[in-house]
Structure 1
Amino acid sequence: MLTFAAVGLTIAIAFAILFLVTSKGLSTFIINKGSIVEFFSGVKWNPGVMNDLGKPIIGALPFIIGSFAVTFLSALVCAPVAIGAAVFMTEISPSFGKKILQPVIELLVGIPSVVYGFIGLTVVVPFIRDHLTGSGFGIAAGTVVLSVMILPTITSLSADAIRGVPRQLREASLALGATRWQTIYRVVLKTARPGLLTAVIFGMARAFGEALAVQMVIGNSSVIPHSLFEPASTLTSILTMGMGYTVMGQAENNALWSLALVLLLMSLIFIIAVRMIGKGRKEA
């Protein structure tokens, strides 16, 4: 009975969150008469001011572009490093990986995001400003910080996926005359591909929802950046900066809830993608 009560409570909480975020997020378009087209294509964000049509100015395109830019770039930078580290831990030097690399990865997981943001603010931003171009704040700084943050997540999940490859496949490949590198590349990684994709998607999900660390290094400028070294904003950075300065029920607050709804929908998309990959792996 206690188990069923716990399961029911978990389901109820999940649906309550979905209902709250959805109802609040749609208030911008139902109550405040905001334009969905402008929300996804507009470039000006000032929900407290009405335009000539009497609708709030809620162009969220710069934040959406900023979120997707730092997410995909960080995954693009981090995935090869994380998968390479996982291969080293499991196939090349398992003893060193278990004794040294695994504790290091666990340490990186336990570091708070504010620490990553502070390191990015004091190390990454000045480096970009002094050795590259611009003020240092921008997509590039956010990508570097997020790449380090999602590295342990992708590495751990990738290592688990590689360990799940049956040993018989490795032995069969070696028995046929393949080298160790050929076995890793053509047998192990190919067999573990669904698990590796799942690891990358999980890392992207964390990167997409990260707020504080990105807020500290991205510049928080409500414009579409034209280069990686220009200040930008993400959905999470605008939420963290604005939620405490709005009043519940007003257009500004409802607009922030709409941004939260976009984040929720993207999280659901990531979860669905992971489940589809997992389902395809089981069928295979």
Structure 2
Amino acid sequence: MNDKQLNKKNLEQLGKFISFICVATMAVGALVIIYFVASKGLATFFVNKVSIWSFLSGQDWQPSKLDGGGHPLVGALPMIAGSFGVTLLAALIATPLAIGAAIFMVEISPKFGKRVLQPVIELLIGIPSVVYGLIGLTIIVPVMRHWFGGTGFGIAAGTVVLTVMILPTVTSLAVDAITAVPRHYREASLALGATRWQTISGVVLKSARSGLLTALVFGMARAFGEALAVQMVIGNAAIMPTSLVEPASTLTSILTMSMGNTIPGQLENNVLWSLALVLLLMSLFFIIVVRLIGKRGSIK
């Protein structure tokens, strides 16, 4: 083996070592975060002796007070319901809009979509969440107040803001999924006498189903974990939501509002970490769903 081959081999080994260090660092960092959040979140149940069932099903959120039996009032159900409410509603609204926009950009007018719509989508993705929150606070909340009465804050306002926020992300991923469908699928469908719409609905969308589901799950993951924009328009009332136009709260809004006002190690701080643990578990759930969808798509 000459010196040139030896240098190439050394460089290859060095590249593998650096890649391994990078991957190991990310893996260790993820495990440390999971351990830290889990240890803090589980302290509510093992140190403060709060029942897991009462935490998940209780509807009264007043960590500094006790009920008649001497148990702290740490019911997280209102925040969990609020988080799922705004996430599911935003996904229901954004998904058909995103798929329709993706179909237009790829199948109907690809030149216009690539030159005009694609830059617009990229611009919307890069806008900070606080800007969306300010727009919602300035426009959406007054509109809700005018049409439905009350304060204007609530799940409806949060849903509108989250829909606008996740729409560019879902659209971009949907465009990638539809673009990945082989061109000969379309040509074969058209050669058999199918119309353009029959080809899109019966061939393209079915072939891109795994990618479209992945786009939906990613959009829901972002909506579920969004904090600042939702906090600015939802009202931040830790009560069980009974209407879309009444103040409510989410896991993230309560966390951002309360974490800086508690003492580490105390019950008020531990229950906030328990809310963070719920968020983490939901994030892991979304990741698992995405991997299952991707594995199913690759098998096909």
Q: TM-score, normalised to structure 1's length?
A: 0.98
Residue 268 of structure 1 corresponds to which residue in structure 2?
284
Partner SS, residue 239 of structure 2: coil
Q: Which residue of 1 aligns with 2:145?
A: 129
Partner of 1:116: 132
Match of 1:201 in 2: 217
Instruction: Kindly tell me the number of residue pairs found equivalent between the two proteins.
Output: 284
The aligned runs of 1:3-22 (5 Å cut-off) are: 3-22=19-38
How far did residue 50 of structure 1 move?
2.8
User: Does residue 143 of the first structure (1) align with residue 159 of the second (2)?
Assistant: yes
> What CA RMSD, in Å, does the superposition of the two structures yield over aligned residues?
0.8
Could you tell me which residue of structure 1 aligns to residue 248 of structure 2? 232
Q: 1:5 & 1:185 partners in 2: Cα distance?
A: 46
Report matched runs for 1:62-73 at 5 Å.
62-73=78-89
Structure 2 counterpart of 1:118, which letter? L
Distance in 1 separating the partners of 2:68 and 2:45:
17
Equivalent position of 1:83 in the other structure: 99
Question: Distance between the aligned counterparts of 1:78 and 1:166, measured in 2?
Answer: 26
Residues 149-176 of structure 1 show CA distances to partners (whole Å, capped at 9, x for unaligned) of 0001100000000001011110000001
Report whether the alignment pairs 1:253 with 2:253. no
Corresponding letter in the other structure for 1:254 = N
3-state SS of paired residue (2:68): coil
**How far does the alpha carbon of each residue in 1:89-116 deviate from its partner, in whole angstroms, 9 at most, with x for none?**
1000000000000000000011000000
- Determine helix, strand or coil for the equivalent of 1:49: strand
CA contact (8 A) 1:109 1:153 kept: yes
1:120-161 CA distances to partner (integer Å, 9 max, x unpaired)? 000000011112332210000000000000001100000000
After TM superposition, give the deviation of residue 24 of structure 1 in Å. Answer: 0.3
C-alpha separation in 2, matches of 1:223 and 1:14: 33
CA distance in 1, matches of 2:186, 2:28: 46
Indicate whether 1:94 and 2:110 are aligned: yes
Runs of 4+ in 1 over 6 A off after TM superposition: none
Letter in 1 for 2:297: R
Q: How does 1:46-61 map to 2 (within 5 A)?
A: 46-61=62-77
Match of 2:190 among 161, 174, 183: 174
Residue 28 in structure 1 maps to residue 44 in structure 2: yes
The structure having more radius of gyration, on CA atoms, is 2
Q: Secondary structure at the match of 2:62?
A: strand
**1:190-239 Cα distance to aligned partner (Å, 9 max, x none):** 11111101100000000000000000000011111111111100000000
Deviation at 1:46, TM superposition (A): 1.4
**1:46 match: secondary structure:** strand
Distance in 2 separating the partners of 1:7 and 1:190: 35
Contact 1:35/1:55 (<8 A) preserved = no
Which shifted more, 47-56 or 153-162?
47-56
Which range moves more in the overlay, 258-267 or 5-14?
A: 5-14
What is the rounded CA distance, in whole Å, between the counterparts of 1:24 and 1:165 in structure 2? 45
CA contact (8 A) 2:61 2:239 kept: no
Q: Does 1:165 align with 2:172?
A: no
Task: Classify the secondary structure of the residue corresponding to 1:9.
Answer: helix
State the shift of 1:5 in Å: 1.5
Local SS of the residue matching 1:228: coil
